[in-house]
Structure 1
Amino acid sequence: MVPVCVQCGTRTNPCRCKVVGPTLGFLAFAAAAAVEWPVGAVVYLFRHMKGRRIMAHPAAVVYPSVANAIPI
Protein backbone atom coordinates (compact mmCIF):
# COMPACT_ATOMS: atom_id res chain seq x y z
CA MET A 1 0.00 0.00 0.00
CA VAL A 2 1.42 3.36 -1.02
CA PRO A 3 0.33 6.41 0.97
CA VAL A 4 -1.17 9.22 -1.08
CA CYS A 5 -0.96 12.74 0.34
CA VAL A 6 -2.96 15.61 -1.14
CA GLN A 7 -2.30 19.28 -0.46
CA CYS A 8 -4.96 21.64 -1.79
CA GLY A 9 -4.99 25.42 -1.84
CA THR A 10 -1.46 25.91 -3.13
CA ARG A 11 -0.55 28.49 -5.75
CA THR A 12 2.40 26.61 -7.25
CA ASN A 13 0.43 25.06 -10.11
CA PRO A 14 -2.76 25.81 -12.09
CA CYS A 15 -4.75 23.00 -10.45
CA ARG A 16 -4.02 24.39 -6.95
CA CYS A 17 -3.62 20.84 -5.64
CA LYS A 18 -0.43 18.84 -5.16
CA VAL A 19 -0.29 15.05 -4.96
CA VAL A 20 3.15 13.88 -6.14
CA GLY A 21 5.27 16.28 -4.07
CA PRO A 22 3.62 15.65 -0.68
CA THR A 23 3.50 11.89 -1.30
CA LEU A 24 7.21 11.69 -2.17
CA GLY A 25 7.92 14.04 0.73
CA PHE A 26 6.16 11.67 3.11
CA LEU A 27 8.09 8.67 1.79
CA ALA A 28 11.39 10.58 2.14
CA PHE A 29 10.34 11.64 5.64
CA ALA A 30 9.62 8.03 6.64
CA ALA A 31 12.96 6.79 5.27
CA ALA A 32 14.92 9.56 6.99
CA ALA A 33 13.03 9.10 10.25
CA ALA A 34 13.75 5.36 10.30
CA VAL A 35 17.45 6.18 10.36
CA GLU A 36 17.63 9.47 12.24
CA TRP A 37 15.26 8.85 15.15
CA PRO A 38 17.22 5.91 16.65
CA VAL A 39 20.48 7.80 16.13
CA GLY A 40 18.97 10.91 17.68
CA ALA A 41 17.73 8.91 20.67
CA VAL A 42 21.23 7.62 21.37
CA VAL A 43 22.79 11.07 20.94
CA TYR A 44 20.07 12.55 23.18
CA LEU A 45 21.42 10.52 26.11
CA PHE A 46 24.65 12.53 26.01
CA ARG A 47 23.81 15.79 24.22
CA HIS A 48 20.15 16.77 24.61
CA MET A 49 19.92 19.65 22.12
CA LYS A 50 21.93 17.84 19.44
CA GLY A 51 19.69 14.76 19.82
CA ARG A 52 16.57 16.89 19.48
CA ARG A 53 17.91 18.53 16.31
CA ILE A 54 18.71 15.13 14.81
CA MET A 55 15.24 13.79 15.59
CA ALA A 56 13.55 16.94 14.23
CA HIS A 57 15.52 16.89 10.95
CA PRO A 58 13.06 14.73 8.95
CA ALA A 59 10.09 16.96 9.78
CA ALA A 60 11.90 20.29 9.64
CA VAL A 61 14.13 19.78 6.60
CA VAL A 62 13.51 16.59 4.61
CA TYR A 63 9.72 16.70 4.15
CA PRO A 64 9.42 20.41 3.26
CA SER A 65 12.34 20.38 0.85
CA VAL A 66 11.09 17.31 -1.06
CA ALA A 67 7.43 18.34 -1.05
CA ASN A 68 8.20 21.86 -2.27
CA ALA A 69 10.65 20.71 -4.95
CA ILE A 70 7.92 19.01 -6.98
CA PRO A 71 5.13 21.40 -8.04
CA ILE A 72 2.51 18.74 -8.89
Structure 2
Amino acid sequence: MAIGIPICVECGTASNPCRCKVVGPTLGFLAFAVAALVEWPVGALVYCFRHMKGRRIMAHPATVVYPSVSNSIPI
Protein backbone atom coordinates (compact mmCIF):
# COMPACT_ATOMS: atom_id res chain seq x y z
CA MET A 1 0.00 0.00 0.00
CA ALA A 2 1.46 3.34 -1.05
CA ILE A 3 1.14 6.48 1.02
CA GLY A 4 0.77 9.62 -1.04
CA ILE A 5 1.84 13.15 -0.29
CA PRO A 6 -1.14 15.48 0.01
CA ILE A 7 -1.20 18.09 -2.73
CA CYS A 8 -3.45 21.10 -2.33
CA VAL A 9 -4.36 23.35 -5.26
CA GLU A 10 -5.90 26.81 -4.93
CA CYS A 11 -7.14 28.28 -8.21
CA GLY A 12 -8.52 31.74 -8.87
CA THR A 13 -5.95 33.63 -6.83
CA ALA A 14 -4.44 36.91 -8.01
CA SER A 15 -1.07 36.44 -6.28
CA ASN A 16 0.72 35.10 -9.35
CA PRO A 17 0.29 35.22 -13.17
CA CYS A 18 -0.84 31.58 -13.43
CA ARG A 19 -3.74 32.24 -11.02
CA CYS A 20 -3.08 28.87 -9.34
CA LYS A 21 -1.16 28.04 -6.17
CA VAL A 22 0.19 24.59 -5.34
CA VAL A 23 3.28 24.95 -3.14
CA GLY A 24 1.82 27.44 -0.61
CA PRO A 25 -1.39 25.53 0.18
CA THR A 26 0.44 22.20 0.31
CA LEU A 27 3.07 23.46 2.75
CA GLY A 28 0.28 25.23 4.66
CA PHE A 29 -1.57 21.95 5.04
CA LEU A 30 1.55 20.14 6.24
CA ALA A 31 2.27 22.93 8.78
CA PHE A 32 -1.39 22.77 9.87
CA ALA A 33 -1.12 19.01 10.45
CA VAL A 34 2.07 19.31 12.51
CA ALA A 35 0.66 22.16 14.60
CA ALA A 36 -2.61 20.28 15.12
CA LEU A 37 -0.79 17.20 16.42
CA VAL A 38 0.66 19.33 19.19
CA GLU A 39 -2.05 21.90 19.86
CA TRP A 40 -5.24 19.81 19.80
CA PRO A 41 -4.33 17.54 22.76
CA VAL A 42 -3.08 20.55 24.72
CA GLY A 43 -6.23 22.47 23.84
CA ALA A 44 -8.44 19.56 24.90
CA LEU A 45 -6.70 19.43 28.28
CA VAL A 46 -6.98 23.19 28.77
CA TYR A 47 -10.65 23.06 27.66
CA CYS A 48 -11.48 20.98 30.74
CA PHE A 49 -10.63 23.96 32.94
CA ARG A 50 -10.93 27.05 30.74
CA HIS A 51 -13.37 26.59 27.83
CA MET A 52 -12.64 29.68 25.73
CA LYS A 53 -8.86 29.37 26.10
CA GLY A 54 -9.04 25.70 25.04
CA ARG A 55 -11.12 26.59 22.00
CA ARG A 56 -8.63 29.26 20.94
CA ILE A 57 -5.73 26.82 21.29
CA MET A 58 -7.51 24.17 19.20
CA ALA A 59 -8.48 26.74 16.53
CA HIS A 60 -4.95 28.15 16.20
CA PRO A 61 -3.76 25.77 13.43
CA ALA A 62 -6.75 26.61 11.23
CA THR A 63 -6.97 30.34 11.92
CA VAL A 64 -3.27 31.31 12.13
CA VAL A 65 -0.86 28.60 10.98
CA TYR A 66 -2.45 27.50 7.68
CA PRO A 67 -3.32 31.00 6.35
CA SER A 68 0.04 32.52 7.27
CA VAL A 69 2.09 29.73 5.62
CA SER A 70 -0.19 29.47 2.58
CA ASN A 71 -0.24 33.24 1.94
CA SER A 72 3.50 33.69 2.40
CA ILE A 73 4.36 31.51 -0.61
CA PRO A 74 2.87 32.95 -3.85
CA ILE A 75 3.26 29.82 -6.01
Task: Mark yes or no: TM-score above 0.5.
Answer: yes
- Summarize deviations over 1:13-62 as a string: whole Å, max 9, x none: 00000000000000000000000000000000000000000000000000
Gaps of 5+ in 2: none
Taking structure 2 as the reference length, the TM-score comes to 0.95
Gaps of 5+ in 1: none
Consecutive aligned runs of 4 or more in structure 1 exceeding 3 Å deviation: none
Distance in 1 between residues matched to 2:63 and 2:15, nearest whole Å: 20
Distance in 2 between residues matched to 1:66 and 1:23, nearest whole Å: 9
- The count of corresponding residues between Structure 1 and Structure 2 is 72
Tell me if 1:45 matches 2:72: no
Percent pairwise identity: 82
Taking structure 1 as the reference length, the TM-score comes to 0.99
Alpha-carbon RMSD: 0.3
Tell me what 2:15 maps to. 12
1:33 counterpart (32, 36, 42): 36
